[in-house]
Structure 1
């Protein structure tokens, strides 16, 4: 099994899924504001924009690092997954009003991020190995 290919497929899938995730979150935040006044709408929208920015940077850095087989971009992408996952957990658990659909899409996003962390670490192992010269 080629771990680098699996990591690349996960990044490719996440790049499209996160676009859908962000559009759905924006739509659900609009519905929440229309149906009931949410006192922390500005905070939730700011967190959504921050998560979108972090996730965009993370996917770009991870794909470039995976394709060039350099260890530091993959490591930075793995570290950027942590604040992105915390933002998704915020949407899943800590925001003021959570719709059931949000549970589903946030759980899928977290599953993708956990899989990317796992395969990102597996990609780092052969890249960081010292070369053997014969």
Structure 2
């Protein structure tokens, strides 16, 4: 019985000894540690950021230079304003003239085919004046001298048509005097600014 108690005490001491715990922990399989992601060196990151900033500055400089080149506009603003309002006024003028001819045809006696001829001339004026305003606007905005040249050439027939309705048609009403004076003023101003615009485009 004494031997048994001695063996039990020895086993208890062996279990409680720190050396045994260390041996057991050493025998256990160790878990692999996760490798930390390698950080890029600070110098390389600084170089990359410096090159990116330099490229941004170069792109901004090129954009500013291109913008400065594109902002050199030589188109005539007064001519563009005149052509714009002339287009709207011509639409008003043409409708008024049609209504006046309807009134004349019902009230006043016309010799022969003079009424038909004057109405046909009004439709010819519609075509020529529309082409003149469109070509003049295109030539001024795109700074093309040939377009403005064609527009200036069309001033002559348009001017004589307005002059015909102002003085030489069969019956000239008082309202037609005002209706035809205004486009003649438009034509005179547009002719002056068209010539100035063509000179400016040629110098540029």
User: Contact between 1:71 and 1:124, CA under 8 Å: does it hold in 2?
Assistant: yes
Give CA-to-partner distance per residue, 1:21-52, whole Å, 9 cap, x none: 10011111111001012231111011101111
Find the counterpart in structure 2 of residue 65 from structure 1.
139
Following superposition of structure 1 onto structure 2, how do residues 21-100 of structure 1 map, counting pairs within 5 Å?
21-39=93-111, 40-100=114-174
TM-score w.r.t. structure 1 length?
A: 0.93
Supply the distance in 2 between the matched residues of 1:64 and 1:28 (Cα, whole angstroms).
Answer: 32
Supply the distance in 2 between the matched residues of 1:125 and 1:57 (Cα, whole angstroms).
Answer: 22
Runs of 4+ aligned residues of structure 1 deviating over 6 Å after TM superposition are: none
Tell me which structure has the larger Cα radius of gyration: 2
User: Contact between 1:3 and 1:122, CA under 8 Å: does it hold in 2?
Assistant: no
TM-score w.r.t. structure 2 length?
A: 0.61
Structure 1, unpaired ranges of 5+: none
How much is the aligned-residue C-alpha RMSD, in angstroms?
A: 1.2
How much does 1:3 deviate? Answer: 6.9
Structure 2, unpaired ranges of 5+: 1-73
Say which structure, 1 or 2, has more relative contact order (CA 8 Å, 6+ apart): 1
